[in-house]
Structure 1
Amino acid sequence: MKKIIIIGVIVLVVIIISVILYSSMAGGASVAQFEDIKEPKINNKSSQKMLVIKGVGLTNFKNSFGDLFGAYYKIKNMPKDFKMQTPKSRWFADVNTSDDTWAFSAGVAIPDSINEVPQVKLKDGITLEIETWEYGEVAEVLHIGGYDKETPTIEKLINFIKQSGYEIAGPHEEEYVKGPMPFIPSDPNKYLTIIRYQVKKSEVKN
């Protein structure tokens, strides 16, 4: 019984720390910080080393961030001056198929000095890895609102890419600048998500 209580306390502490850190990281984000991408834009972005959870299916994705943050806090030798960054996801899917077949990678940036994957218990079919997300030229835009309202923003970005003489050269990516908070009521209309694609110059003339 004592062991169960201790484990429960540890889990509670991790949850509280997660809420505090994520609140400080994303809770204060505002539209004003992203004025330059309120409309679609081509930018250059450096590669990032990431701690990544991989799986299949929208349900597994929704449950993945708890495991991701839990693993992040178990990283050994994390530099004290490294500030946790906003989480991201990449999708490898055909939107015309069932969402339980969509493959995803959910990740958070880590320092280049980290090479050891934290040891955590994961569900069957879910993996935890360290990898580098390559970027280069990207097209991105800020979406304001709920995740179920993203389609017009995505279509606007894709049209911008084509009209600018580019084509998509990587998976669909989302960066969750401001979203739902654990145990705290939130307004989906105020969620901030960066929609992003790696791009390259199109070989087909418009």
Structure 2
Amino acid sequence: MDKIDFKKTDSYRAPKSFQFVEVPQMQYLMIDGHGDPNTAQTYQDALQTLYPVAYKLKFSSKQAGRDYVVPPLEGLWWAERMDSFTSARDKSQWDWTMMLMVPDWLGPEDVAKALGAAQNSADLPAGDKIRLGNLSEGRCLQVLHIGSYDDEAPVLARMHQYIKDQGLDLTGKHHEIYLSDPRRVQPEKLRTILRQPVVPAAN
């Protein structure tokens, strides 16, 4: 049985310079939350729930004849004041949705079964918050950032200015794809795709 690795597909590739891409609609396991990801218990609860369900889903898909590698963690980030990302970096003000992509051959019934199986194996602190949702971003600007998450602010500021210079406006939410495991990779070597949906600027 061939195992699909979505990390090797175009949706998980980005250069070190700004690039516009068309992102297709995809579905994800999602959990919403608020606060500093370094200190908020809700953030840890989200990760401790997403992964067990994702792996139960992957194993059930494999048993049904379609195997895949669980894709990398992704996050949508936003706040009332965007400068909390690009200058102040006040993480306590951040809202977020943490996500793991689910292949399109799996649906809500598969997720419900995986959630039940995961809950039978371990306590899921955010089991009541997990959902299957679709994300349609369309045209986006993205770039591969190599370095600490705390070094993203200047890149995001340049990204937002580049979008403006191209006659575009930001839309949707700031999207990050974590290609590296921070538990195993030094901060200066972390690889993260930074993605921002865009629309033509209003006249």
TM-score, normalization by structure 2: 0.74
Q: Find the aligned partners of 1:141 and 1:48 in 2 and give their Cα distance.
A: 19
2:51 aligned partner, one-letter code: F
Q: Find the aligned partners of 2:168 and 2:131 in 1 and give their Cα distance.
A: 31
Shift of 1:166: 1.0
Choose which of 51, 68, 76 in structure 2 pairs with 1:69.
Answer: 51
1:47 aligns with 2:39: no
Cα offsets for 1:128-161 (capped at 9, x unmatched): 0100011110011111100011101111111111
1:194 aligned partner, one-letter code: I
When Rg is computed on C-alpha atoms for both structures, the one with the higher figure is: 1
Q: Find the aligned partners of 2:151 and 2:192 in 1 and give their Cα distance.
A: 11
Q: CA RMSD in A?
A: 2.8
Cα offsets for 1:139-193 (capped at 9, x unmatched): 1111110001110111111111111111111111101011313xx4x31110011
1:53 aligned partner, one-letter code: I
* Structure 1 unpaired stretches of 5+: 1-23
Share of identical aligned residues, percent?
Answer: 23
Shift of 1:124: 6.6
Q: Which has the higher contact order (CA 8 A, sep 6+)?
A: 2
Q: Which residue is 1:163 aligned to?
A: 165
1:105 aligned partner, one-letter code: T
Q: Which residue is 2:193 aligned to?
A: 194
CA contact (8 A) 1:54 1:126 kept: no
**Which 4+ stretches in 1 moved above 6 angstroms?**
none
Question: What secondary structure does 2:182 align onto?
Answer: coil
- How many residues are matched? 172
Q: Find the aligned partners of 1:125 and 1:69 in 2 and give their Cα distance.
A: 11
* Structure 2 unpaired stretches of 5+: none
1:141 aligned partner, one-letter code: V
Distance 1:63 1:188, change over 3 A: farther
